């Protein structure tokens, strides 16, 4: 639910410990600014240039959305999204 971050003023640059995708403190990711710029471009390009489908016989409503316990949240069963050019 990415929309849970809309309207929320959480700093992702290592100030609010409820969200630290780049770590925090002295060893914080030095690529943070570059990643922040690139991510929007990459994600935007993937959405604009391709349509996406699930594996054969897989329906969105049957997708396994369970997660694994750990330091970061990972899907229990990896999502295989197949791009096809528009
Ligand atoms: C979405 C993209 C990225 C994420 C989520 C990410 C996340 C992280 C995290 C969590 C750490 C560990 C920080 C810590 O120990 O507190 C880290 C370290 C590091 N990242 Fe990134 N990173 C990203 C992109 C990049 C990019 C684009 C570069 C370089 C161009 C980069 C270079 C590094 C380096 C060199 C370290 C080691 C820093 C150190 O140990 O002092 N990262 N990153």
Whether 83 is in the pocket of ligand 1, judged by its Cβ within 6 Å, is no
Interface predicted TM-score of the whole assembly (ipTM), two decimals: 0.97
Which ranges constitute the DSSP H helices of the chain? 32-49
Predicted pLDDT at 4: 86
Task: Tell me the C-alpha distance between 6 and 9, whole Å.
Answer: 8
C-alpha 29 to ligand 1 mean position (Å)? 4
Residue closest by Cα to atom 11 of ligand 1: 29
Predicted pLDDT at 18: 87
The reply to whether 29 sits in an annotated binding site is: yes
For 25, residues 6+ apart whose C-beta sits below 8 A from its C-beta are 14
For residue range 5-57, list pLDDT tens digits in order: 889 999 999 999 988 999 999 999 999 999 999 999 999 999 999 999 999 88
Ligand 1 nearest-atom number relative to CA 23: 16
Ligand 1 nearest-atom number relative to CA 14: 16
The tokens for 54 are 């699930």
Residue 13, burial from CB neighbour count under 10 angstroms (0-12, 13-18, 19+): middle
């Amino acid at each position: 639910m990415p929309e849970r971050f809309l309207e929320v003023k959480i700093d992702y640059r290592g100030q609010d410990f409820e969200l630290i995708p780049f770590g925090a403190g002295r060893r914080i990711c030095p690529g943070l600014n570059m990643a922040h710029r690139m991510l929007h471009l990459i994600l935007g390009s993937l959405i604009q240039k391709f349509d996406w489908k699930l594996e054969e016989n897989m329906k969105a409503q049957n997708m396994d959305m369970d997660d694994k316990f750990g330091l970061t949240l990972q899907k229990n069963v990896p999502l295989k999204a197949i791009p096809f050019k528009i």
